Amino acid sequence: MDVLNGQTSIPLLSMRGIVKRFGAFTANDHIDLDARSGEAHALIGENGAGKSTLVKMIYGLLQPTEGTIAVAGEEVRLASPREARARGIGMVFQHFSLFDNLTVAENIALVLPPREGMAGLRARIAAVSERYGMPLEPDREVWSLSAGERQRIEIARCLLADPRLIILDEPTSVLTPQESLRLFETLDRLKGEGRALLYISHKLEEVRRLCESATILRLGKKVGGCDPRAESPRSLAALMVGAQIAEIRAPGERAPGPERIVVENVSILSGEIHGVGLDHVSLSARGGEVVGIAGIAGNGQAEFFEILSGERLAGGDAFIRIDGVPCGALDITRRRLAGAAFVPEERNGHAAAPEFSLSENLVLSRHATAGIVRRGLIDYDRARQLAQAVIAAFDVRKAGPDPAARTLSGGNLQKFVIGREILSQPGVLVVNQPTWGVDAAACAAIRQALVDLAARGAAVLLISQDLDELFEICDRIAVMRQGRLSAPLAVRGTTREEIGLLMAGAAPGETPSHAH
């Protein structure tokens, strides 16, 4: 692999006046961006700001409506990812595209030209892995690897093509804090070789650690550029959102109430090959308490949510009690009647039906508890009133009086879904990833609503991958890993590092073999 040229005055990548329209919608509006060799350039902005659209044009997945892209000073038209790769542009996607049943080497061979033998490939993988400090075992099957290890395969795949510019799309979203640090070391080495990095993230601490320059997008427009090292996370957040974000009002000291939800000994087998089951999971939460469940996605959280909600019944010795009612064998409707409410991770298609109006979506989860069904007939007037109450209380922005759920932005639909459950005055609320893909303002409103609900005496179970969120609003945090749940730790007596180690599978106080 060649050592690339050092910094030059001509930017490696230069975008001028980029516009991308989808029908009437403008996703990118006259955006300029430069990325230089040997530097990491951050692209920051909230979900929906247009970051992904912009990088897809750099990687040839989309073509700009207007504007020019130049690579090393030469104007280019990138009609496909193949052409982008030929120009020395590589991309590491947020979602991995790997075959679980193939080995590391086989997964890498799949994307390379077929002329190379497996033996030569193994040597090259070993070389890349040593050079960049990314341990990779070519003969391991992918299903047995952690998210961090899988990401290394994606990065190695990208590096074998010797790219001059590497695009990384939210690379730490699936990593533990320790794995993220290792990733940054690799990225520092890539920078040191004179490669350019384009780093997409909304985690501002990371951007400040890694990047020399940044482009900030808001609602498809470039609202500024800066040197992130000279900014604070708060000032960066203000640039990104365009307003100051309200801080969560701390719940203050609360006397813990009675146990409102008790879960004991839940074990299920996974239905899928390489899937995750649950292994003797127990947990309880008292009124007035927010209990967090941390963990990297895919470690059993989705299954645990289904068990709690009753969408799936746990057999065996499992025991679930909600406000004194044994619920292990009850369906979701009966659990709602016992005083529980649930917010699943996926808004569209699970928490809400996209084509249904907001009032119909209110009927969806509250038909049994809100007195809107009489003799099998739905009182839609009453449903509309209740939906309006949610809309008013949670400041849901929408077009028209009762629009289809699909027309709302992610943040607004999530506020509606959470408000729908909170206004049912539940004694127990179980939420899964409530602020995933939600804009900062809605995110703050949702967290505040969860804290307020607990302050009124409810027990809140919060399943989240976002450690910032968990530390902001939880009283206790347990960690789920490979279907097992750790004992909950009081937030005031623990640290992110300790939770991070539990997420990576080490017992507290013990250092995992690969952590630094």
Provide the binding-site residues for other proteins, judged by CB under 8 A: 23, 61, 79-82, 309, 311, 331-333, 336, 342, 344, 346, 349-356, 360, 363-365, 367-368, 373, 376-378, 380, 404, 407
Question: Helix (H, G, I), strand (E, B), or coil: what is residue 162?
Answer: coil
Of the two residues 54 and 473, which places its CB atom closer to other proteins in the complex?
Answer: 54
Query: Please, how many CA atoms are within 13 Å of residue 146, restricted to the half-sphere of its CB?
Result: 18
Minimum distance from residue 84 beta carbon to other proteins (Å): 10
Minimum distance from residue 380 beta carbon to other proteins (Å): 8
Cα gap 418→449, rounded to integer Å:
9
Minimum distance from residue 447 beta carbon to other proteins (Å): 23
Of the two residues 176 and 309, which places its CB atom closer to other proteins in the complex?
Answer: 309
Q: What are phi and psi of 248, to 5 degrees?
A: -70, 130
Minimum distance from residue 359 beta carbon to other proteins (Å): 11
Minimum distance from residue 424 beta carbon to other proteins (Å): 14
Picking from 187, 218, 201, 180, the residue whose alpha carbon sits closest to that of residue 31 is 218
Of the two residues 227 and 381, which places its CB atom closer to other proteins in the complex?
Answer: 381
Minimum distance from residue 432 beta carbon to other proteins (Å): 12
Of the two residues 261 and 405, which places its CB atom closer to other proteins in the complex?
Answer: 405
Q: What is the largest CA-CA distance in the chain?
A: 77
Minimum distance from residue 378 beta carbon to other proteins (Å): 6
Of the two residues 367 and 484, which places its CB atom closer to other proteins in the complex?
Answer: 367
Minimum distance from residue 507 beta carbon to other proteins (Å): 36
Picking from 505, 329, 352, the residue whose alpha carbon sits closest to that of residue 414 is 352
Minimum distance from residue 46 beta carbon to other proteins (Å): 22
Of the two residues 282 and 407, which places its CB atom closer to other proteins in the complex?
Answer: 407
Of the two residues 238 and 364, which places its CB atom closer to other proteins in the complex?
Answer: 364
Picking from 480, 474, 101, 506, the residue whose alpha carbon sits closest to that of residue 303 is 480
Question: Helix (H, G, I), strand (E, B), or coil: what is residue 283?
Answer: strand
Cα gap 358→408, rounded to integer Å:
10
Query: Please, how many CA atoms are within 13 Å of residue 288, restricted to the half-sphere of its CB?
Result: 9
Minimum distance from residue 59 beta carbon to other proteins (Å): 8
Judge contact between 471 and 480, C-beta under 8 A: no
DSSP designation for 87: T
Of the two residues 336 and 481, which places its CB atom closer to other proteins in the complex?
Answer: 336
Minimum distance from residue 300 beta carbon to other proteins (Å): 18
Contacts (Cβ under 8 Å, ≥6 apart) of 278? 266, 267, 268, 300, 303, 304, 307, 314, 483
Bridge partners (DSSP) of residue 484 are 481
**Crossing angle of helices 358-366/410-422, nearest 10°?**
40
List the end-to-end C-alpha distance of the chain, in Å, as a whole number.
27
Of the two residues 287 and 419, which places its CB atom closer to other proteins in the complex?
Answer: 419
Minimum distance from residue 381 beta carbon to other proteins (Å): 11
Outline where 297-378 has alpha helix (H).
301-309, 332-337, 358-366
Of the two residues 183 and 404, which places its CB atom closer to other proteins in the complex?
Answer: 404
Cα gap 516→502, rounded to integer Å:
15
> Position 212: which residue type?
E
Of the two residues 70 and 378, which places its CB atom closer to other proteins in the complex?
Answer: 378
Alpha-carbon distances of 396 from 46, 126, 385, rounded to whole Å: 18, 53, 14
User: 3-state SS string over 14-60?
Assistant: EEEEEEEEECCEEEEEEEEEEECCCCEEEEECCCCCCHHHHHHHHCC
Of the two residues 180 and 357, which places its CB atom closer to other proteins in the complex?
Answer: 357
Bridge partners (DSSP) of residue 269 are none
